[in-house]
Structure 1
Amino acid sequence: MIGLLLRVLGNEYAKPMRRTVALMTVTAIVEGLLYALLVPVLHKLFGSDPAEAWPYLLGFGGAVAVYAVLRYLSDVSGMRVGTSMLRGMYYKLGDHLARLPLGWYDSTRVGDVSTMASKGLLAALGVAAHLLAPFISALVTPLTIVAVMIAYDWRLGLAALAAAPVVAVIQKWTARSSAAVDAERHERDNEAAGRVIEFIQAQPVLRAGGRTGERFGLLDNALQDVERTSRRTVGAVLPGAVSLTVTVQVVFTLIMVLGTYLGLGGDIGVAELLSILVLAARCADPLLSLSDIGGKLRGARVELDRLDTVLRTAPLPEPAEPVRPESHGVEFDSVTFKHGDRLVFDDVSLTVPVGQRLAVVGPSGAGKSTLLQLLARFYDVDAGAVRIGGVDVRSMDTEDLMSRIAIVFQDVYLFDGTIEQNVRLGRPDATDAEVRAAASAARLDEVIDRLPDGWAADVGEGGARLSGGERQRVSIARALLKDAPIVLLDEVTSSLDPVNEAAVHEGIERLMAGRTVVTVAHRMRTVRRADRVVFLDGGKIVEEGSHDELLLQGGRYADFWNISTAATASG
């Protein structure tokens, strides 16, 4: 467990961790030796002059004080190491997640990472702070007490030592039987949590459709799965816990019977026998706690394994000698790309000269958004190359690449903060005048003027306190402030009302001025203003040319145009 923890976190934590383990081990040994003083104390108390027990009682008190200091120091050390590791792991996980390809973040992984970064990290890194000391005490203190018992009477000591291999076998058996159930429990917990969130978020739709009963059934099924898995977890752990309890009780009974036999035979005194029985009883408590501690440690190890899996996920490789392009034309050269088992692009080639606008149209699932993602290097192509200014994006430093690209997505995400903070994400060092100018160009100033708090208005998590059109204006202002030479637009007006669409289009026109633009669009206003249009379908460019040229061809694009304009007219 400690080895895995250090491997996940790094060797810089090895020295304080080893120091903490050593301190906890010494504390556990002192705790065990402490009980050795009970033998002379009881011997004197049951002797002819009980007053002779005072020196031993004072020694026992001094030993308790030493143990208390050691226990305090070991607990503080464990807490410090645990919090230090937790902070280090947050930084390490955050840095690694920031280097993973954005295509890695599907909906399932986002949920897993969210759980891992909260509950998972606390469980895994809480080992040093909360579990390590009781675990070491549960192992070392009983062994020390057994050593003391052997020193006083080897027969009773060996009888107590007989429990050690049995306890080890029980712990290993319990861990093996619960491993599969623990994994299933984690999966069921995640599924149930997702269903709860889904049920809450879908309330408006469910109530409008009168389908709350049906959807509650899905949630109820997920919760029933959790219940069934919990029962299996108890079923897997309970035999081990019962076996451990029975083993400890049997060994204690054996020691008591053997001690009674030796006492009746005169081989051991009453005081010594009582002391041995007290020591044996003191062994029982930490041994019985092993079942609970072992379960928590197994849970922490599962979380560490998940963390290790994420940290072992290879990020997109960075070039050893990055190349900086001199211009900002865009080129797709014989690009082939698969998403899982699905072929998205098959030998696709196109160019966008500096300062020109390319519109990408086609049916749903044709790969339009993926084209933008490849250009921003959310993924690496399987064959061919994506170039900016003649330089393969794989040969560019990631920060340099992203500094040259401004992206406006269809679904805008805003961080929980003020409007100004979200706009400044485009360029944090921008002056107030530059921020205001970008907001004015995006017509965001209209939104700010009608909000009570103006620039200091809190947008809420994900921008929930703003409408879709208002969030788009924040996103465009952010892109304008960034002032990148390449602009990628992904259907940014597909779900806006006419008023917001007009405002957003005005901001987009200012954003696109003088820049290299690749835009995915369904609205024909954007397509008509493009210098060139490509029609994607089936992983290939079916048609390519200007808007007027493609209309004259009367092909797929012309059909798409006619359907779109008819739908707009009827609306």
Structure 2
Amino acid sequence: MIRMLLRVLGHQHSRPIRRTLALMVSAAVAEGLAYALLVPVLRALFGDTPADARPWLGAFGAAVAACAALRYAGDLAGFRVGTALLRGVYHRLGDHLARLPLGWYGPARVGEVSVLAGQGVLRAMSVVAHLLGPYVSAAVTPLTIVAVVLALHWQLGLVALAAVPVVAAIQLLTGRATAAEDAGRAARDREATGRVVEYVQAQPVLRAGGRTTERFRLLDESLRQVGRASRRSTLSALPGALGLTLTVQTVFSALLALGAYRALDGGIGAAELLTVLVLTARCADPLLSLADLGGALRGARGELARLDEVLRTEPLPEPAEPVRPAGHGIEVASVTFRHGGHTVFDGLTLSVPEGRRLGVVGPSGAGKSTLLHLLARFHDVDAGAVRVGGADVRALATADLMARFAIVFQDVYLFDGTIEDNVRLGRPGATAAEVREAAAAARLDEVVERLPDGWATPVGEGGARLSGGERQRVSIARALLKDAPIVLLDEVTSALDPVNEAAVHAGVERLMRGRTVVMVAHRLRTVQHADRIVFLDAGRVVEEGTHDELLRRGGRYAHFWHLTAEPMPRG
């Protein structure tokens, strides 16, 4: 458990964790040894001069105080280390998620990451702060007491010692029996979280269909699965809890019977027997708590394992010796790329000279957006190479590569801050004048002027307080402020109204001026002035040329142009 915790957090945290563990073990051992002082106390109390018990009572009180001090120090260290680890693991998880390839973020990952980043991390990190101390005490204090009993009376000690392997076996078997059920319950929890997110996102569709009062079948079924998995997990732990209780009661009864027998034949004194029984009774509570603590630790271990699995997912590799591109031209050389079990590109080749514009068109599923992802190295290709300025993108440092790209997608995500905060993401160190200039070029200033709080207007999570066109203007202003030499555009006007489309087009024209551009579009008017156009279908370039050349050929591009450019005939 500790090894996995250190693997998840990094071995730089090993010293405080080991120091905390040492404090907790010392407190548990000291507690067990303190009970050995009951023997001289009881001997004196049962003897002819009970006053002789006073110094031993003082020693016992001092030992209890020392135990309390050690326990306080261990618990305090646990809370402090747990808080530091919680902060550290959130930073590490966030940094790692930001470096994972976008292909990793499949539909099922939403629920998984939501659960893991929320209750999963808290549950895993609660080990040091809340579980480790009680578990160490429940395991180490009884073992110390068994050693004390062995020293007092070897026969009674052997009876107590016999319980150790039985308790260990019960814990081991319970862990194995519940592991599969715990994993199943965690999987159902993640699925249910994903269904809740889906249910919230599906509200417009459900309401448009007049199904506002209906229950969401997929969510209901997922919640039922969670309930079934929870019951199975509880039932799988029940035999272990019963077995532990039976073992503790059996050992205590055996010690009571053997102790009474040995006391009657003079083999053990009353003080020693009473001490053994007190010590044995003191063992019962922590041993019985092992069932609950073991279940909590197994749950935390499961979360740690899932956290470890995410953190061990390989991000895109960084070059050992990054190179610098010689320019801003783009080349896709014999690229093969597979994703989701099928081949998206097989030997794709195209190029964009520096300062030129390439339009990419084609039917849905042709690989247009995937091409932009490969150019920005959101994924690595399986064969071939993507080059910027003659350098393979895999040989560039990620920060250097991303500094060369300004990317505007159709679906714009804005962070929950002000409009100015979101524009400044393009270049955080920009001056106020530079921000205003970029906004004016994107026609965002028109939006800002009619908002009551102006630049300080909060956009809401995901930009929910702005319209689609307004969000797109923010994204273009952000890209203009970044002032990158290469621009990637993905369907930036396909879902806009005419007013916003005209404004966004003006901003896009300003953004593209003098830069290397790759633009994906369904509306072919967007790309008709590109220097060159490629028509993608099934991951292959089936046509390429200028707008006029492609129209003269009368091929796929011309067919698409006539479908989208000519008005529909009236029936």
What is the TM-score when the length of structure 1 is the normalising length? 0.97
Task: Letter of the 2:418 partner, please give it.
Answer: T
Q: Is the 8 A contact 2:438 2:478 kept in 1?
A: yes
Seq. identity, %? 69
Cα 1:157–1:86, aligned 2, differ >3 Å: closer, same or farther? Answer: same
What is the aligned partner in structure 2 of residue 367 from structure 1?
Answer: 367
Quote how far apart the aligned CAs of 1:94 are: 2.7
1:437 is the counterpart of 2:441 = no
1:393 is the counterpart of 2:393 = yes
What is the aligned partner in structure 2 of residue 71 from structure 1?
Answer: 71
Q: Is the 8 A contact 1:328 1:354 kept in 2?
A: yes
- Listed as ranges, the matches of 1:338-349 within 5 Å are 338-349=338-349
- Listed as ranges, the matches of 1:526-545 within 5 Å are 526-545=526-545
Deviation track 1:307-341 (CA, whole Å, cap 9, x = no partner) reads 22222222222222222112111111111111132
Quote how far apart the aligned CAs of 1:213 are: 5.9
Secondary structure (helix, strand or coil) at the match of 2:200 reads helix
Task: Letter of the 2:26 partner, please give it.
Answer: V
Q: Is the 8 A contact 1:33 1:145 kept in 2?
A: yes
Task: Letter of the 2:445 partner, please give it.
Answer: D
**What is the number of equivalent residue pairs in this alignment?**
570
Give the Cα separation in 2 of the matches to 1:210 and 1:102: 36
Secondary structure (helix, strand or coil) at the match of 1:348 reads strand
Give the Cα separation in 1 of the matches to 2:201 and 2:88: 34
What is the aligned partner in structure 1 of residue 423 from structure 2?
Answer: 423
Unaligned segments of structure 1, at least 5 residues = none
What is the aligned partner in structure 2 of residue 553 from structure 1?
Answer: 553
Q: Is the 8 A contact 1:332 1:386 kept in 2?
A: yes
Task: Letter of the 1:469 partner, please give it.
Answer: G
What is the aligned partner in structure 2 of residue 514 from structure 1?
Answer: 514
1:31 is the counterpart of 2:31 = yes
Secondary structure (helix, strand or coil) at the match of 2:338 reads strand
Quote how far apart the aligned CAs of 1:269 are: 2.7
Quote how far apart the aligned CAs of 1:367 are: 0.2
Quote how far apart the aligned CAs of 1:137 are: 0.7
Give the Cα separation in 2 of the matches to 1:567 and 1:169: 79
- Listed as ranges, the matches of 1:441-452 within 5 Å are 441-452=441-452
1:258 is the counterpart of 2:258 = yes
Superposition CA RMSD, Å: 1.6
Q: Is the 8 A contact 2:472 2:492 kept in 1?
A: yes
Give the Cα separation in 2 of the matches to 1:93 and 1:552: 54
Secondary structure (helix, strand or coil) at the match of 2:414 reads coil
Cα 1:155–1:343, aligned 2, differ >3 Å: closer, same or farther? Answer: same
What is the aligned partner in structure 1 of residue 491 from structure 2?
Answer: 491
Quote how far apart the aligned CAs of 1:44 are: 2.7
Q: Is the 8 A contact 1:28 1:141 kept in 2?
A: yes
Give the Cα separation in 1 of the matches to 2:163 and 2:94: 45
Which deviates the most, 385-394 or 180-189?
385-394
Deviation track 1:375-419 (CA, whole Å, cap 9, x = no partner) reads 001111112111112221112111111101000011111111111
Q: Is the 8 A contact 1:206 1:215 kept in 2?
A: no
Q: Is the 8 A contact 2:447 2:470 kept in 1?
A: yes
1:162 is the counterpart of 2:143 = no
What is the aligned partner in structure 2 of residue 10 from structure 1?
Answer: 10
Deviation track 1:27-77 (CA, whole Å, cap 9, x = no partner) reads 101111121222222333333343332222222211111111111111112
Secondary structure (helix, strand or coil) at the match of 1:426 reads coil
Task: Letter of the 1:410 partner, please give it.
Answer: Q
Deviation track 1:435-470 (CA, whole Å, cap 9, x = no partner) reads 000011111111111112111111111111111111
Which deviates the most, 87-96 or 507-516?
87-96
Q: Is the 8 A contact 2:115 2:193 kept in 1?
A: no
Q: Is the 8 A contact 2:334 2:348 kept in 1?
A: yes
Cα 1:217–1:178, aligned 2, differ >3 Å: closer, same or farther? Answer: same
Task: Letter of the 1:244 partner, please give it.
Answer: L
Task: Letter of the 2:491 partner, please give it.
Answer: E
Cα 1:19–1:307, aligned 2, differ >3 Å: closer, same or farther? Answer: same
Cα 1:9–1:399, aligned 2, differ >3 Å: closer, same or farther? Answer: same
Cα 1:246–1:569, aligned 2, differ >3 Å: closer, same or farther? Answer: farther
What is the aligned partner in structure 1 of residue 464 from structure 2?
Answer: 464
Give the Cα separation in 1 of the matches to 2:198 and 2:421: 30
Quote how far apart the aligned CAs of 1:207 are: 2.7
Give the Cα separation in 2 of the matches to 1:477 and 1:146: 73
Quote how far apart the aligned CAs of 1:568 are: 7.5
Secondary structure (helix, strand or coil) at the match of 1:528 reads coil
What is the aligned partner in structure 1 of residue 21 from structure 2?
Answer: 21
Deviation track 1:101-122 (CA, whole Å, cap 9, x = no partner) reads 2332223224323322222222
Which deviates the most, 21-30 or 523-532?
523-532
Secondary structure (helix, strand or coil) at the match of 2:350 reads strand
Secondary structure (helix, strand or coil) at the match of 1:543 reads strand
Secondary structure (helix, strand or coil) at the match of 1:343 reads strand
Give the Cα separation in 1 of the matches to 2:514 and 2:397: 24
Which deviates the most, 241-250 or 113-122?
113-122
Q: Is the 8 A contact 1:332 1:387 kept in 2?
A: yes
Q: Is the 8 A contact 1:199 1:215 kept in 2?
A: no
Secondary structure (helix, strand or coil) at the match of 2:216 reads helix
Secondary structure (helix, strand or coil) at the match of 2:452 reads coil
Give the Cα separation in 2 of the matches to 1:396 and 1:138: 54
Task: Letter of the 2:141 partner, please give it.
Answer: T
Task: Letter of the 2:270 partner, please give it.
Answer: V
Task: Letter of the 1:62 partner, please give it.
Answer: A
Task: Letter of the 2:248 partner, please give it.
Answer: V
Task: Letter of the 1:261 partner, please give it.
Answer: Y
Q: Is the 8 A contact 2:111 2:191 kept in 1?
A: no
Q: Is the 8 A contact 1:146 1:161 kept in 2?
A: yes
Quote how far apart the aligned CAs of 1:91 are: 2.7
What is the aligned partner in structure 1 of residue 61 from structure 2?
Answer: 61
Quote how far apart the aligned CAs of 1:18 are: 1.8
What is the aligned partner in structure 1 of residue 139 from structure 2?
Answer: 139
Give the Cα separation in 2 of the matches to 1:190 and 1:314: 22
Q: Is the 8 A contact 2:361 2:524 kept in 1?
A: no
1:206 is the counterpart of 2:220 = no
What is the TM-score when the length of structure 2 is the normalising length? 0.97
What is the aligned partner in structure 2 of residue 524 from structure 1?
Answer: 524
1:287 is the counterpart of 2:287 = yes
What is the aligned partner in structure 2 of residue 407 from structure 1?
Answer: 407
What is the aligned partner in structure 2 of residue 98 from structure 1?
Answer: 98
Give the Cα separation in 1 of the matches to 2:43 and 2:192: 61
Give the Cα separation in 1 of the matches to 2:7 and 2:192: 32
1:331 is the counterpart of 2:331 = yes
Task: Letter of the 2:548 partner, please give it.
Answer: D
Task: Letter of the 2:280 partner, please give it.
Answer: A
Secondary structure (helix, strand or coil) at the match of 2:351 reads strand
Which deviates the most, 74-83 or 110-119?
110-119
Q: Is the 8 A contact 1:356 1:517 kept in 2?
A: yes
Secondary structure (helix, strand or coil) at the match of 1:115 reads helix
What is the aligned partner in structure 2 of residue 48 from structure 1?
Answer: 48
Give the Cα separation in 2 of the matches to 1:498 and 1:444: 16
Cα 1:316–1:168, aligned 2, differ >3 Å: closer, same or farther? Answer: same
Task: Letter of the 1:22 partner, please give it.
Answer: A
Which deviates the most, 363-372 or 264-273?
264-273
1:269 is the counterpart of 2:258 = no
What is the aligned partner in structure 1 of residue 119 from structure 2?
Answer: 119
What is the aligned partner in structure 2 of residue 89 from structure 1?
Answer: 89
Q: Is the 8 A contact 2:352 2:358 kept in 1?
A: yes
Give the Cα separation in 2 of the matches to 1:193 and 1:303: 15
What is the aligned partner in structure 2 of residue 245 from structure 1?
Answer: 245
- Listed as ranges, the matches of 1:293-308 within 5 Å are 293-308=293-308
Give the Cα separation in 2 of the matches to 1:486 and 1:190: 39
Which deviates the most, 44-53 or 389-398?
44-53
Which deviates the most, 79-88 or 340-349?
79-88
Q: Is the 8 A contact 2:108 2:191 kept in 1?
A: no
Cα 1:478–1:45, aligned 2, differ >3 Å: closer, same or farther? Answer: same
Task: Letter of the 1:218 partner, please give it.
Answer: L
